[in-house]
């Protein structure tokens, strides 16, 4: 362990947030804005603040990105390198006709080009749409079509999935293809409107004029699931950077010498906000690991790069817990000094296990794609109550309310709501005002769709979702999208989808299917349907369990009663059945 890490680990360095109560009393968003040194009169840009400012300072040669490939190869990028490379991407996009406000989607594995592209897109004032590399053609089509994306950046291993749906995407002018890092067949013939990333970049200068933006201009959008309809495009603006900056500083407690690793992919909001912008706004070195979850490999990544702060998810932690002490004992991860978790309830059992194995308390954080930054959370300087999500970030007002918007007293269960006004709150749902307005139906509040309660000391405790949204392995899945994809299978006429509790993944997806005439239930058919969904939609959204049934319960107005499917599955009371069809 180096001297610096020892100092950090022994906590001789004070946490960035020293006193929660004082911070709440004195907090002003303007102070965070001033720390970032924004001068709105000349225009701002999140990429300038996250990259160029450091590249123009003594941090120029500081490592911004320690990248480790799935095959074990490593690369390092300084802030100066990221500036130059992202400038070239920005210039390339301008040459391809992309202008301020246009949507540019990115469909890449976690390779350096993914991060460089997102920064380059922000630099020209376009809107980046990161897509998870496990998405199938259907998921890709829905996002590119709805957003009207003009350019897509992908690689040779993924482009074929785009080809399958290109005909349905009239707005998509150009697809930029980079090779996979392993060299995965970059030599193949390109389609008419495909260009090669490396060739285009080569033509461009390392210098550029960054587009001056206002705080209210969008810079990224992410599609997320609700109970009904296709995934919705949550739009975020440059103003978000103030929330990114200060929450990263106070919650993840990142300090100059830290080596930070966020295990989330930028296709999910955690990876975009805390695996890219937040840490770089703070000038911190981050690790990106291209590969998938693997207990031994993850610890080896931490050892190799000397990770000091780690942001991960309960599912991963539960899997590591089940993997036992073996893998962790093989590696030296003694540099690790701080751990945070997000995405699902963090079981007290996992916190206790973390204390034993890592000698560190895992700090839970709560937020959503729509909130754009951590909202309710634990801090290094505040005692953790295992099972609680913690307390609201200074400057954020959270409450438990009833359907009329009245605040409920401590101990009462109700709707978890937030008072709008923090910088990173979403600014729209792309082309869907109605769905945006849904969040603000209770006057004065943003409603989260979660239910919770608050104790007398203001700690919040998660209860569940108020709707049918499924959280599986930290991923948010809407039952409707899965049902829609299921009924496209030739054997399926009707589908009802629920989340079923699972000890590792929080929930797994379970589907109840009615088969078309002429098809008989069989294990082979189940496997075929699972593969179909994995391929069409995404690896994380396929039903792990399938039951065939005669009918799916529906209301008289034709809505699938997922609540009833769930109650039957779990042997719970069936509740009010007055609206059931038969």
Cβ at position 483, least distance to ligand WTA in Å: 20
Q: Which residues contact 193 (CB under 8 A, 6 or more apart)?
A: 172, 173, 174, 175
The token pair that represents 324 in the structure block: 């036992």
Q: How remote is the C-alpha of 321 from its chain's centroid?
A: 23
Contact segment (CB under 6 A) with ligand WTA among 98-106, 180-188, 340-348, 396-404 equals 340-348
Nearest residue (CB) to ligand WTA, 270 versus 315: 270
Q: Is the dihedral of CA 546, 552, 555, 557 positive or negative?
A: positive
Listed residue (39, 182, 54) closest to 119, CA to CA = 54
Work out whether 78 is an interface residue with ligand WTA (CB under 6 A): no
Q: Is the dihedral of CA 156, 158, 159, 163 positive or negative?
A: positive
Residues 359-388 that bind ligand WTA (CB under 6 A): 364-369
Work out whether 424 is an interface residue with ligand WTA (CB under 6 A): no
Work out whether 243 is an interface residue with ligand WTA (CB under 6 A): no
How far is Cα 356 from Cα 150, in angstroms, rounded to an integer?
A: 51
Work out whether 344 is an interface residue with ligand WTA (CB under 6 A): yes
* Phi, psi for residue 477 in degrees, rounded to 5: -130, 130
Nearest residue (CB) to ligand WTA, 55 versus 235: 235
Residue in 462, 480, 512, 532 binding ligand WTA, rule: CB under 6 A: 462
Binding-site size, ligand WTA (CB under 6 A) = 21
Nearest residue (CB) to ligand WTA, 367 versus 379: 367
Chain position carrying tokens 């996992």: 350
Nearest residue (CB) to ligand WTA, 223 versus 532: 223
How far is Cα 270 from Cα 133, in angstroms, rounded to an integer?
A: 15
Cβ at position 148, least distance to ligand WTA in Å: 23
Nearest residue (CB) to ligand WTA, 31 versus 349: 349
The answer to whether the beta carbons of residues 164 and 137 sit under 8 Å apart is: yes
Taking the alpha carbons at both ends of the chain, their separation in whole angstroms is 68
The answer to whether the beta carbons of residues 219 and 128 sit under 8 Å apart is: yes
Q: Which residues contact 22 (CB under 8 A, 6 or more apart)?
A: none
The token pair that represents 283 in the structure block: 């000038």
The answer to whether the beta carbons of residues 198 and 394 sit under 8 Å apart is: no
Work out whether 445 is an interface residue with ligand WTA (CB under 6 A): no
Site string for ligand WTA, 217-236 (x = CB under 6 A): -------x------------
Contact segment (CB under 6 A) with ligand WTA among 46-54, 121-129, 403-411, 448-456 equals 448-456
Residue in 68, 450, 468, 483 binding ligand WTA, rule: CB under 6 A: 450
Nearest residue (CB) to ligand WTA, 306 versus 414: 414
166 DSSP 8-state letter: G
Contact segment (CB under 6 A) with ligand WTA among 16-24, 342-350, 398-406, 539-547 equals 342-350
Work out whether 447 is an interface residue with ligand WTA (CB under 6 A): no
* Phi, psi for residue 282 in degrees, rounded to 5: -90, 0
How far is Cα 82 from Cα 88, in angstroms, rounded to an integer?
A: 10
Cβ at position 385, least distance to ligand WTA in Å: 13
The token pair that represents 141 in the structure block: 């089509």
Work out whether 448 is an interface residue with ligand WTA (CB under 6 A): yes
Cβ at position 224, least distance to ligand WTA in Å: 5
Chain position carrying tokens 């103003």: 239
Work out whether 389 is an interface residue with ligand WTA (CB under 6 A): yes
- Rg of the chain on CA atoms, in Å: 24
User: Could you give the C-alpha distances from 106 to 120, 127, 187, 236, 279, in angstroms and in order?
Assistant: 11, 11, 21, 16, 20
Tally the residues of the chain: 582
Residue in 449, 466, 467, 534 binding ligand WTA, rule: CB under 6 A: 449
User: Could you give the C-alpha distances from 190 to 93, 164, 196, in angstroms and in order?
Assistant: 18, 14, 8
Work out whether 118 is an interface residue with ligand WTA (CB under 6 A): no
How far is Cα 247 from Cα 393, in angstroms, rounded to an integer?
A: 8
Nearest residue (CB) to ligand WTA, 289 versus 462: 462
Residue in 266, 279, 345, 478 binding ligand WTA, rule: CB under 6 A: 345
Work out whether 481 is an interface residue with ligand WTA (CB under 6 A): no
Centre a 10 Å sphere on the Cβ of residue 41 and count the other Cβ atoms it contains.
Answer: 7
Residue in 129, 137, 226, 343 binding ligand WTA, rule: CB under 6 A: 343
Cβ at position 343, least distance to ligand WTA in Å: 5
Residue in 75, 435, 465, 534 binding ligand WTA, rule: CB under 6 A: 465
| Half-sphere exposure at residue 471, Cβ-oriented, CA atoms within 13 angstroms | 20
Cβ at position 270, least distance to ligand WTA in Å: 5
Nearest residue (CB) to ligand WTA, 180 versus 365: 365
Work out whether 262 is an interface residue with ligand WTA (CB under 6 A): no
Cβ at position 344, least distance to ligand WTA in Å: 5
For ligand WTA, the nearest residue by Cβ is: 369
| Half-sphere exposure at residue 238, Cβ-oriented, CA atoms within 13 angstroms | 29
| Half-sphere exposure at residue 40, Cβ-oriented, CA atoms within 13 angstroms | 11
Nearest residue (CB) to ligand WTA, 117 versus 247: 247
Cβ at position 114, least distance to ligand WTA in Å: 19
Nearest residue (CB) to ligand WTA, 299 versus 480: 480
* Residues of the shown chain interacting with ligand WTA in the complex, contacts defined by CB under 6 A: 224, 269-270, 342-345, 364-369, 389, 448-450, 462, 465, 471, 476
């Amino acid at each position: 362990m180096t001297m610096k890490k020892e100092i950090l680990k022994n906590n001789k360095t004070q946490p960035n947030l020293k006193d929660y109560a004082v911070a709440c009393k004195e907090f002003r968003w303007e102070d965070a804005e001033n720390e970032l040194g924004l001068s709105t009169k000349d225009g701002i840009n999140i990429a300038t603040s996250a990259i160029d400012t450091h590249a123009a300072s003594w941090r120029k040669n500081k490592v911004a990105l320690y990248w480790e490939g799935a095959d074990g190869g490593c690369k390092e990028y300084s802030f100066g390198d990221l500036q130059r490379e992202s400038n070239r991407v920005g210039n390339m996009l301008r040459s391809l006709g992309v202008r301020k406000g246009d949507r540019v989607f990115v469909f890449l594995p976690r390779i350096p080009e993914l991060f460089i592209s997102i920064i380059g897109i922000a630099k020209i004032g376009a809107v980046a749409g990161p897509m998870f590399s496990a998405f199938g053609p259907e998921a890709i089509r829905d996002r590119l079509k709805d957003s009207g994306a003009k350019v897509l950046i992908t690689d040779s291993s993924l482009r074929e999935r785009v080809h399958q749906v290109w005909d349905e995407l009239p707005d998509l002018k150009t697809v930029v293809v980079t090779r996979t890092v392993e060299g995965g067949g970059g030599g193949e013939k390109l389609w008419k409107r495909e260009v090669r990333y490396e060739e285009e970049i080569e033509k461009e200068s390392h210098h550029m004029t960054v587009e001056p933006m206002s705080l209210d201009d969008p810079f990224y959008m992410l599609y997320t699931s609700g109970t009904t309809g296709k995934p919705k495009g949550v739009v975020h603006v440059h103003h978000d950077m103030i929330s990114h900056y200060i929450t990263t500083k106070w919650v993840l407690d990142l300090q100059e010498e830290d080596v930070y690793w966020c295990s989330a992919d930028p296709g999910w909001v955690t990876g975009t906000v805390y695996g890219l912008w937040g840490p770089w706004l703070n000038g911190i070195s981050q690790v990106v690991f291209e590969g998938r979850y693997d207990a031994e490999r993850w610890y080896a990544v931490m050892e190799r790069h000397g990770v000091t702060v780690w942001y991960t998810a309960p599912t991963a932690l539960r899997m590591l817990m089940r993997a036992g002490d073996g893998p962790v004992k093989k590696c030296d991860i003694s540099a690790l000094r701080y751990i945070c978790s997000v995405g699902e309830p963090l079981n007290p059992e996992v916190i206790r296990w973390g204390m034993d194995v890592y000698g560190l308390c895992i700090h839970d954080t709560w937020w959503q794609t729509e909130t754009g930054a951590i909202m309710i959370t634990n801090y290094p300087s505040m005692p953790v109550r295992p099972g609680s999500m913690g307390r609201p970030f200074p400057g954020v007002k959270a409450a438990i309310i009833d359907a009329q918007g009245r605040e409920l007293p401590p101990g009462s269960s109700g709707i978890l709501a937030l008072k709008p006004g923090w910088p990173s709150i979403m600014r729209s749902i792309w082309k869907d005002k109605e769905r945006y307005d849904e969040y603000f139906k209770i006057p004065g509040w943003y409603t989260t769709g979660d239910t919770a309660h608050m104790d007398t000391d203001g700690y919040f405790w998660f209860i569940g979702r108020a709707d049918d949204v499924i959280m599986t392995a930290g991923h948010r899945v809407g039952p409707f999208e899965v049902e829609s994809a299921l009924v496209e299978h030739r054997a399926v006429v009707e589908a009802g989808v629920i989340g079923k509790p699972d000890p590792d993944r929080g929930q797994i997806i379970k589907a109840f299917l009615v088969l078309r005439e002429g098809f008989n239930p069989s294990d082979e058919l189940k496997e075929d349907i699972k593969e179909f969904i994995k391929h069409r939609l995404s690896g994380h959204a396929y039903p792990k369990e399938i039951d065939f049934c005669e009918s799916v319960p529906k209301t008289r107005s034709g809505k699938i009663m997922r609540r009833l499917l769930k109650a039957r599955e779990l042997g719970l009371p069936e509740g009010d059945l007055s609206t059931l069809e038969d």
